Structure 1
Amino acid sequence: MSDPDQPVTQAPAQDAHLREETIESSQVYKGHFIELRRDRVRLPDGREAPREYVVHPGAVMIVAMLPDGKLVMERQYRYPVRQTMIEFPAGKLDAGEGGLACAQRELWEETGYKAKRWAKAGIMHPVIGYATEIIEIWFADELTLGERHLDEGEFLDVFTASLDELEGWVRDGKLTDVKTIVGMMWLAKYRAGQWPLQWASVG
């Protein structure tokens, strides 16, 4: 995990007039995998202001593609929003775990699928106003299905859907998960030949 007192990336020199500098940082809460911090920062005009944010270990999301073009999807109840959400498979990074290893583990544990080919598409910052979370976007194909191994206390349904179906659910407000919507956009660009991926065989 990165030092919470330091930004994840350094702002370019031309953005110096926008930067906020940390004066002090304190831990408010430390949970099972997230941490809440309260900082005091110096604004570009010299004044001071408070900042509260969640430190998150990072996560991965997997766009897993079947030979018929359909996608491996999940339905899972998300307690903070009190809704069952439609999502691509995803999960948080364990300490010291790389993105690919996490993507392979999460896909297998949650869905039972293993993939022979993987490609990292990019990253996203889903909640930049109050969390450090970064989600790596991974694509997987040449899938084989086995037995899934859910974590204790984890309950979810696995199903398949086409990109057209997902887009219709977004339009109708049935699919609102932002990481899944970003993954859909990336998939559409990939299939249109606009955003190529660098595939690698694994295992």
Structure 2
Amino acid sequence: MSQRLPIVHARHQRDEGRGRVVEDVDLEFSNGERRIFHRVLAPGPGAVAVVPMLDDDTVLLVREYAAGVHRYELGLVKGRIDEGETIEEAANRELMEEAGYGAHRLDVVRMLSLAPTYMEHQTALVLARDLHPAKLPGDEPEELEVVPWKLADLGELVLRDEASEGRSLAGLFIVREWLAKHG
């Protein structure tokens, strides 16, 4: 299989309303096949998913209402990066808004994609350590429940119906491995 990227012959953007922009990309692959791919463009500078470590073994999760599945979901602190914010600034702001903590140490671990075959959107996975109480008003309609969870118990978390968000689950396992290698 060829590792050569397809040739882009043309790009056309269309606004589908409500901030959703789709780009039609005319591609030619190394075997001569030609296709038009539809790509959902990311609105704004992206998003963050924060893994706040209360101590070396305990992560803080938040339980919040998830309209897409109409239930309360247990997962990581997450949110959009505002225009002009760095990844670290957005992560710390979201942490203060959703969990009531700030972090003195923030490490961008890696980028996560949601559906890379058709979406441009990426989320920065950020490890937050050396936490301190700090609260900012957020945009949530109700206070979020903060739930401490042991990293050693991730196997139990993945089997719970209320923990289904892919970025949260992947982020927790990635950070657990990252911490094992980097301390």
TM-score normalised to the size of structure 2? 0.83
Opposite residue 143 of structure 1, the aligned amino acid is: L
Quick one: percent identity of the two aligned structures?
A: 22
Residues 1:51 and 2:38 are matched in the alignment: yes
Which whole-Å CA distance do the structure 2 matches of 1:126 and 1:91 have between them?
14
Match of 1:130 in 2: 118
- Equivalent residues in 2 for 1:42-191, closer than 5 Å: 42-44=27-29, 45=32, 47-49=34-36, 51=38, 53-57=40-44, 58-67=46-55, 69-151=57-139, 153=141, 155-191=143-179
Deviates more, 1:150-159 or 1:99-108: 150-159
Size of the alignment, in residue pairs?
A: 179
CA deviation after TM superposition for structure 1 residue 38, in Å: 4.8
CA deviation after TM superposition for structure 1 residue 171, in Å: 3.2
Pair 1:22–1:84, CA change in 2 (3 A): farther
Pair 1:138–1:94, CA change in 2 (3 A): same
Residues 1:15 and 2:35 are matched in the alignment: no
TM-score normalised to the size of structure 1? 0.76
Which whole-Å CA distance do the structure 1 matches of 2:28 and 2:72 have between them?
40
Q: Name the structure with the higher strand share.
A: 2
CA deviation after TM superposition for structure 1 residue 102, in Å: 0.4
What are structure 2's unaligned runs of at least 5 residues? none
Which whole-Å CA distance do the structure 2 matches of 1:53 and 1:92 have between them?
17
Which whole-Å CA distance do the structure 2 matches of 1:105 and 1:138 have between them?
12
Give me the CA root mean square deviation. 2.5
| Contact preservation (8 Å) 1:112, 1:149 | no
What are structure 1's unaligned runs of at least 5 residues? 1-12, 198-203
**Which consecutive aligned stretches of 4+ in structure 1 deviate over 4 angstroms post-superposition?**
none
CA deviation after TM superposition for structure 1 residue 113, in Å: 0.2
